[in-house]
Each structure stands twice: as C-alpha cells, then as structure tokens.
C-alpha cells in the first residue's frame, strides 16, 4: 500500500462469460488487494469481481457510484480513501475505464493530488477493432458516439470520409439500437470504394469483424440491431 494511495484502472470483460479468457493475472492480484471501488454500475461490478473467483468476499468491499451524473466535487469526496493511502479501483460498465466512461474524472483528480494512477491491461473494443481492421494504425481518430441529428450526422460521416481518404483511420460508435440506421446512413452517403470495417460483438462467441468496400457492403447488410459494434472508415 502506497502512502499517497493509488488509483487502479481495472478493465472488465466486453462479452459475457469471457473473463476467464481475457482478464490477466495482474488484474486478479490487484482485486485481491483492493477494498475500495468506484464503479459505473454496482450490479455488474460486483458480478464481475465475483466471476474472477479470486476468493475475495464481495460483502467486505466498499463500492461507490462514479457515473456520468457524478460532479467533480463529488469525485473529490469519493477519492477520500486514496488520500488516506488506500488503493482504489475504478471499474466501468465494460472494457477499459477512462476511455468512454466517467473514470477520467477520478484520474484527473488523482493527478491534481499526486495520487499514482496505474492503468491495467484489458479488453478495449475500439483497440481490438483497430487491430483487426487492417487499416492504418499509425494515424487514427476515435470519435466515440457520433451526432444523432440527421443533417449533422451525415455531415459528420462525410467529414470522416474525407479524413479517411487522407489515410487517417476513423473509428466511431452508435447506441446499439440505432446501429442499423447508422449503417444505412454510411452506405448511402459514402463513396463506393471507401473501406468500411464492421466489428460486431468483439470477443463474443458471435464476434464478426469484416472489412469491405461500401459497394460490397451494399450487396449484403449485416443485422447489427442491439449488438455492440465499432465502425471504422478508411
């Protein structure tokens, strides 16, 4: 235990029942030593820690919620144990904390207070999609969730396509129940020879990662409804 505390960024599995496969020994060792957690979702965090079968007694752990409603002032309070020298773990809903979740708030606070930040290795859907796309990994932009409004969204897609044409890979996502609409918009508004990689349910049993031209995707569209998907243009 460090005297100034430590903030562990603890990844969790993306697809159900895959923790045994994708979570490494270091994550297990950290969970055995950590009593305080800031989590995006209480139920999934508890279930995740239980699924690692480290022998930890879940009822002896302290969980606090860190989600998109948490204010910076609240974060300062939640980080109390770290200021007293305790290790704290951040666990997001799925994947790596601090990327597309509120974990960054706790990290920013830690840097301000000189608390050591230790990111642990684990699954990240956008990284796995990038690796498997075959696109340029030396230069890329991740946009997170793209605009919902029709006009703004189509402009955004066309702008991403222009960057992709300059050899910068473009990664983006959509709320899963709107995935099929997003795919329609991409197929309708991108050029026939632009490459699109669709990475669906990464690390899951029905994982599908395929790169094709827009004109080839137009011939046979996959059903992405309610399935976590990363889209890449190049």
Contact between 217 and its own copies per CB under 8 A: no
Angle between helical axes of 179-189 and 150-165 (0-180°, round to 10)? 60
d(C-alpha 8, C-alpha 5), whole Å: 10
Which residue of 203, 204, 222, 227 would you call a contact of its own copies, by CB under 8 A? 203
**Which of 78, 128, 164, 186: binder of its own copies (CB under 8 A)?**
128
What secondary structure letter does DSSP report for 132?
A: H
SS3 60: helix
**Site membership for its own copies, residue 36 (CB under 8 A):** no
Cβ proximity to its own copies: between 43 and 69 the closer is 69
> What gap in Å lies between CA 103 and CA 94, rounded to an integer?
12
Smallest gap from residue 181 Cβ to its own copies (A): 21
- Indicate whether 124 belongs to the interface with its own copies (CB under 8 A): yes
Structure token pair of residue 124: 């990240």
Based on the shown chain and the rule CB under 8 A, indicate whether residue 42 belongs to the binding site for its own copies.
Answer: no
For residue 84, the Cα-to-chain-centroid distance in whole angstroms is: 29
139 part of the interface to its own copies, by CB under 8 A: yes
Span near its own copies by CB under 8 A; candidates 38-46, 52-60, 149-157, 208-216 = 208-216
For the chain, give percent helix, strand, coil, nearest 5.
40, 20, 40
Q: Specify the stretch interacting with its own copies by CB under 8 A; choose among 39-47, 80-88, 143-151, 218-226.
A: 143-151
- From residue 202, alpha-carbon distances to 97, 102, 135, 152, 231 in Å are 17, 22, 17, 28, 12
Rounded-to-integer distance, Cα 154 and Cα 158, Å: 6
- Of the candidate spans 50-58, 81-89, 113-121, 147-155, the one that interacts with its own copies by CB under 8 A turns out to be 113-121
132 binds its own copies (CB under 8 A): yes
Cα separation, 158 vs 189, in Å, equals: 7
23 vs 59, which CB is nearer to its own copies? 23
**C-alpha span between 38 and 27 (Å, rounded):** 16
Q: Kindly state the smallest distance separating residue 107's Cβ from its own copies, in Å.
A: 4
Tell the smallest beta-carbon distance from residue 142 to its own copies (Å): 6
Give how far the C-alpha of residue 59 lies from the chain's centroid of Cα atoms, to the nearest Å: 27
Site track for its own copies across 60-99, x = CB under 8 A: ------------------------------------xxxx
Q: List residues near its own copies by CB under 8 A.
A: 9, 20-26, 29, 96-101, 103-105, 107-111, 117-119, 121-124, 127-145, 168, 197, 202-203, 207, 209-212
């Amino acid at each position: 235990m460090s005297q100034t505390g430590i903030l562990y960024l603890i990844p969790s599995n993306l697809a159900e029942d895959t923790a045994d496969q994708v979570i490494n020994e270091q994550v297990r060792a950290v969970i055995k030593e950590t009593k305080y957690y800031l989590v995006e979702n209480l139920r999934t965090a508890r279930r995740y820690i239980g699924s690692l079968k480290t022998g930890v007694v879940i009822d002896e752990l302290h969980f606090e919620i860190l989600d998109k409603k948490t204010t910076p002032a609240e974060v300062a309070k939640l980080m109390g144990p770290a200021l007293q020298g305790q290790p704290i773990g951040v666990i997001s809903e799925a994947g790596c904390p601090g990327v597309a979740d509120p974990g960054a708030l706790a990290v920013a606070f830690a840097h301000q207070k000189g608390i050591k930040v230790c990111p642990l290795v684990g699954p990240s859907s956008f990284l796995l999609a990038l690796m498997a796309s075959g696109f340029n990994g030396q230069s890329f932009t991740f946009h997170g969730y793209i605009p919902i409004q029709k006009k703004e969204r189509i402009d955004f897609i066309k702008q991403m396509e222009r960057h992709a044409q300059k050899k910068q890979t473009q990664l983006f996502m959509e709320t899963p129940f709107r995935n099929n609409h997003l795919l329609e918009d991409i197929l309708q508004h991108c050029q026939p020879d632009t490459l699109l990689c669709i990475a669906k349910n990464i690390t899951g049993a029905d994982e599908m990662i395929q790169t094709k031209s827009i004109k080839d995707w137009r011939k046979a569209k996959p059903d992405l409804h309610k399935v976590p998907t990363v889209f890449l243009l190049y």
